[in-house]
Structure 1
Amino acid sequence: MIRVVVADDEPVVRVGVAAVLGTAGDIEVVAEAADGREAVELVRAHRPDVAVLDIRMPHLDGVEAAAELARIGSATPVLVLTTFADDASISRALGGGAAGFVLKTGDPQELIAGVRAVASGAAYLSPLVTRRVLDGLPTTRHAGSAHARVAALTDRERDVLGLIGAGLSNAEIGRRLHVVEGTVKIYVSTILGRLGVRNRVQAAIVAHDAGLIPPDA
């Protein structure tokens, strides 16, 4: 069972998110927060598999809460949930270390898919967000230097990076490359460090810009 903390300052939204996730069968909402500060405390207390945070909340917004969780060493990945798909919101979320970004106005199944993806160690972007990112957000793109950046990686690390860019989880990458999941985790950690990126979403953008995503992924 995937354990989730949900944070949104609108009670109706919190109820709706919990209801959608409850239909999945493998997801359980263990706590709900009305602001970012409360969300951080609930994540510390419950240690959920995923934190679903609204990007605009009082006290701490979703990005600030994600940054605070990273500061205190929380291993819980953050899925940002928002009504806004503007460049600034996307850039803040990705730059702040969020593992995924889902729109409230999207298909409810995207929310379920996003929670499952980030819980498994993968990154997830709502399709609309993916298009905006790959079409050129200036604060997250490194097209001119992508090839130079991946040149420092080994052949196997480039293979792993390409599969990260395709949205595969560590387990899926392991099966694809015939290595154990623990080895994939080591590769991912090394790749993030060598590329100088904070999370898998940013790594996936580099993989796309460098042309590393395999066509059959």
Structure 2
Amino acid sequence: MTGPLRVVISDDDDMIRDALREVLEEQPDIEVVGVGRDAEDAITLAERHRPAVAVLDVRMPGGGGARAAREIVTRCPGTAVLAFSAYSDHASMASMETAGAVEYLAKGVPNREIVAAVRRLAGR
């Protein structure tokens, strides 16, 4: 794989979106190619940019992360989905796994874990 690892982020919380973008863009091998605020944004950005990884909030407008994950996995089979949520209950985790998320991280994990998960999902 050559070039930067391309990532799309979608979260309805402005602070979370900005923080995720900052954390990921600090890495020389990662490029955030799109940032959205709902499921529809996530789907559109994934189709437009074909990222290696889509980082999705579980509970966001437009059908939530599960809807976005299902659509992204179907429309962009080369994109891995990382669920990123404040909720770590079984139902939230199960719905994202069923929708196609490869990994699930709870908000508040150390930044190095987020970066490591993105790289892992991209196969780096």
Q: Calculate the TM-score normalised by the size of structure 2.
A: 0.91
What is the distance in 1 between the residues matched to 2:116 and 2:72? 22
State the shift of 1:91 in Å: 1.0
> Who is 1:36 aligned against?
39
Please, what is the CA RMSD of the aligned residues?
1.3
> Who is 2:74 aligned against?
71
Structure with higher Rg: it is 1
What is the distance in 1 between the residues matched to 2:121 and 2:75? 19
Instruction: Give 1:11's aligned amino acid.
Output: D
What is the distance in 2 between the residues matched to 1:73 and 1:15? 24
> Who is 1:46 aligned against?
49
1:107 aligns with 2:87: no
- Greater RCO, 1 or 2 (C-alpha within 8 Å, sep 6+): 2
What is the distance in 2 between the residues matched to 1:99 and 1:82? 14
1:18 aligns with 2:21: yes
> Who is 1:94 aligned against?
97
State the shift of 1:23 in Å: 2.1
What is the distance in 1 between the residues matched to 2:24 and 2:74? 28
State the shift of 1:71 in Å: 2.9
User: Which structure's residues are more often strand, by fraction?
Assistant: 2
- Map 1:198-217 to 2 at 5 A: none
User: Which structure's residues are more often helix, by fraction?
Assistant: 1
State the shift of 1:73 in Å: 4.7
Classify 1:22/1:72 alpha carbon distance in 2 versus 1 (closer, same or farther; 3 Å).
closer
What is the distance in 1 between the residues matched to 2:76 and 2:45? 14
What is the distance in 2 between the residues matched to 1:116 and 1:74? 17
Q: Calculate the TM-score normalised by the size of structure 1.
A: 0.53
Q: Any stretches of 5+ residues in structure 2 without a counterpart?
A: none
> Who is 2:84 aligned against?
81
> Who is 1:2 aligned against?
5
Residue aligned with 1:32, SS? strand
The alignment of Structure 1 onto Structure 2 pairs a total of residues equal to: 121
